[in-house]
Structure 1
Amino acid sequence: MMAVPPRPWPTGTAEQLEPLVVRVLAPNASPFTYTGTQTYLVGTDDLAVIDPGPDDAAHLAALEAAIAGRRVAAIMCTHTHRDHSPAAAPLAAMTGAPVVGCAPLRFPGDNSGVEAAFDQDYEPDRVLLDGEAMTGTGWTLTAISTPGHISNHLCFALEETGAVFTGDHVMGWSTSVIVPPDGDMGDYVASLQRLYAREQDRIYYPAHGPAVTNPHQLVRGTIGHRRAREGQVQRLLGEEPRALEALIPAMYAGVDKRLWPAAQMSVLAHLIDLERRGLVARSGDTWRALA
């Protein structure tokens, strides 16, 4: 995990990253969002707005200033966690642009559990399937289905430049958190392997943290990291059966304890994946190795 850079951060500032890409940082920094959610504007004459971010008045004003009166062809969401998609609706009302990208997710309940992290008000005008694209003047954004962090997650490949907008699937500052039941570790690793197979990708622009200029190296390392965590789980359960909570201090001794609840969710995702593969079993709250 990368250390958070010192303030001031460029919150609300339109930063030109390359000729077709501008970044605007939202003011929602946290231990889970790094310095905040990064919204990307793609294009010059007409624009795609990727991951509009939280429904925050200051961020929407910063986006309006960065758009500067140009036509917005699409508001594109990688997934529907609350730090990514809630600004889509007010931005659509402001610009008249359609909301395009990931599918909506609906969870029954009173928004007090896991489902509270999801934007259940998200209503896309068009859902992009894997391989489908949005186009504008001088740009093409192709959807890459990358479930795992969340089941509806998409990345968007900018075909003209080799850039990929990776949302929360791949980030340079931290590995993605996988939260069951919607998050799935097996799907996540398979999606990483899919990105690794794309030799044409030059740079990743994640929703949090700095651009990834060595994408294939980072993805290979992330797959290795997940395999190492899986091996830790198997080794610890091979020593003795343990509850989920008992695995965390041994596995994350050097990690900020504020992040342990999120780490516990990813370990649970590993356990569920290992159980599905017949490598561990559970009895009540206790897990044991089978192989």
Structure 2
Amino acid sequence: MAGPPPKPWPTGEAMTLEPLVRRVLAPNPSPYTYTGTQSFIVGAGEGCAVIDPGPDLPDHVDALMAAIGEEKVLAILCTHTHRDHSPAARLLATRTGAPVIGCAPLVLSDTGPRADAAFDRDYAPDRVMEDGEAMTGPGWTLTAIATPGHVSNHLCFALEETGALFTGDHVMGWSTSVVIPPDGDMGDYMRSLDKLYAREDRIYYPAHGEAVEKPRQLVRGMIGHRRQRENQILRLLGEGPRSAAEFVPVMYKGLDEKLHRAAEMSVTAHLIDLERRGLVARSDEQWRTI
């Protein structure tokens, strides 16, 4: 994971990325959110949609409202329901009267320390969008692209008029996405990457990090990176059984200890996928090749 750029970060400022797209950065930086969650406003003054309204922080909602101005909000769309993405939808909906649509609700009970944001337990959309379903407004069309893997309810949104894709946490502009079992699924994640690689999107706007101007090149590299990790796991298991935690010091040399849990869960996601494919097996906490 790359470190964040030097401060100051443009928190709360509405930045125009292209005629139909503005970005507002939330003040929630962390090792897992980079400089914070980026909310996007799609529209050109006659009716807009807000994608990933972000965490439940009044200052961020105020910044979104200032950026929207007198424009009518037609919809509030959420890529998924981690707490750095969807909670502000409720307050924004109250202030604008707009419906909340997009991903399906998803809540899992935490069984221990998390390595990513916890789920938004209060997310209650007015409508769930299916894969390929479109939402339209004055001069814009947003199509839902189902991309499970980071979490099972993850959606990306394609802006059909410009070839932009809002990728949420599935593809980020600063790091690979965290895949946390039991809901995060490495097999689904890889299939979703293949799905995006088959597309011809012009640019990606992730929820964390800078815009991705060569998306297919990045996705190809991400697929290759995951395959390298998989091969590394199989090679290490060839030396003998290991627990998931024992892979981390070898595979992630120099990694900040704050991120060790995330790395361990990513290894676990790979191991579960390899187990399903009949390449490895486990006994208690130990994994071995078959």
- TM-score, length of structure 1 as denominator length: 0.97
Aligned-residue offset at 1:33 = 0.2
3-state SS, counterpart of residue 117 of structure 1: coil
Specify the alignment match of 1:218 in structure 2: 218
Task: Give the Cα separation in 2 of the matches to 1:108 and 1:241.
Answer: 30
Specify the alignment match of 1:207 in structure 2: 207
Specify the alignment match of 2:39 in structure 1: 39
Aligned-residue offset at 1:2 = 2.6
Task: Give the Cα separation in 2 of the matches to 1:73 and 1:150.
Answer: 26
Specify the alignment match of 1:165 in structure 2: 166
Shift of the 222–116 alpha-carbon distance from structure 1 to 2, 3 Å rule, reads closer
Specify the alignment match of 1:264 in structure 2: 264
Shift of the 112–288 alpha-carbon distance from structure 1 to 2, 3 Å rule, reads closer
Shift of the 116–168 alpha-carbon distance from structure 1 to 2, 3 Å rule, reads closer
Specify the alignment match of 2:151 in structure 1: 150
Task: Give the Cα separation in 1 of the matches to 2:257 and 2:162.
Answer: 40
Task: Give the Cα separation in 2 of the matches to 1:33 and 1:278.
Answer: 34
Specify the alignment match of 2:70 in structure 1: 69
Task: Give the Cα separation in 1 of the matches to 2:19 and 2:234.
Answer: 47
Aligned-residue offset at 1:250 = 0.3
Q: What letter matches 1:52 in structure 2?
A: P
1:60-89 residue CA offsets vs partner (Å, 9 max, x unmatched): 110010010210000000000000000000
3-state SS, counterpart of residue 183 of structure 1: coil
3-state SS, counterpart of residue 271 of structure 1: helix
Specify the alignment match of 2:187 in structure 1: 186
Aligned-residue offset at 1:256 = 2.1
List alignment gaps of at least 5 residues for structure 2.
none
Task: Give the Cα separation in 1 of the matches to 2:113 and 2:169.
Answer: 21
Segments of 4+ moved more than 4 angstroms: 111-116
Task: Give the Cα separation in 2 of the matches to 1:212 and 1:55.
Answer: 27
List alignment gaps of at least 5 residues for structure 1.
none
1:164-206 residue CA offsets vs partner (Å, 9 max, x unmatched): 000000012000000000000000000000000002x000000
Aligned-residue offset at 1:120 = 1.2
Q: What letter matches 2:28 in structure 1?
A: N
Task: Give the Cα separation in 2 of the matches to 1:255 and 1:102.
Answer: 32
Aligned-residue offset at 1:108 = 4.7
Specify the alignment match of 2:105 in structure 1: 104
Aligned-residue offset at 1:257 = 2.2
1:134-179 residue CA offsets vs partner (Å, 9 max, x unmatched): 0000000000000000000000000000000000000120000000
Identity within the alignment, %:
70
Q: What letter matches 1:10 in structure 2?
A: P
3-state SS, counterpart of residue 76 of structure 2: strand
Aligned-residue offset at 1:113 = 5.9
Tell me the matched-pair count. 288
Structure 2 contact 78–103 (Cα < 8 Å) conserved: yes
Aligned-residue offset at 1:116 = 7.2
Q: What letter matches 2:107 in structure 1?
A: R
1:70-114 residue CA offsets vs partner (Å, 9 max, x unmatched): 1000000000000000000010000000001000013357x8665
Q: What letter matches 1:206 in structure 2?
A: P
Q: What letter matches 1:142 in structure 2?
A: T
- TM-score, length of structure 2 as denominator length: 0.97
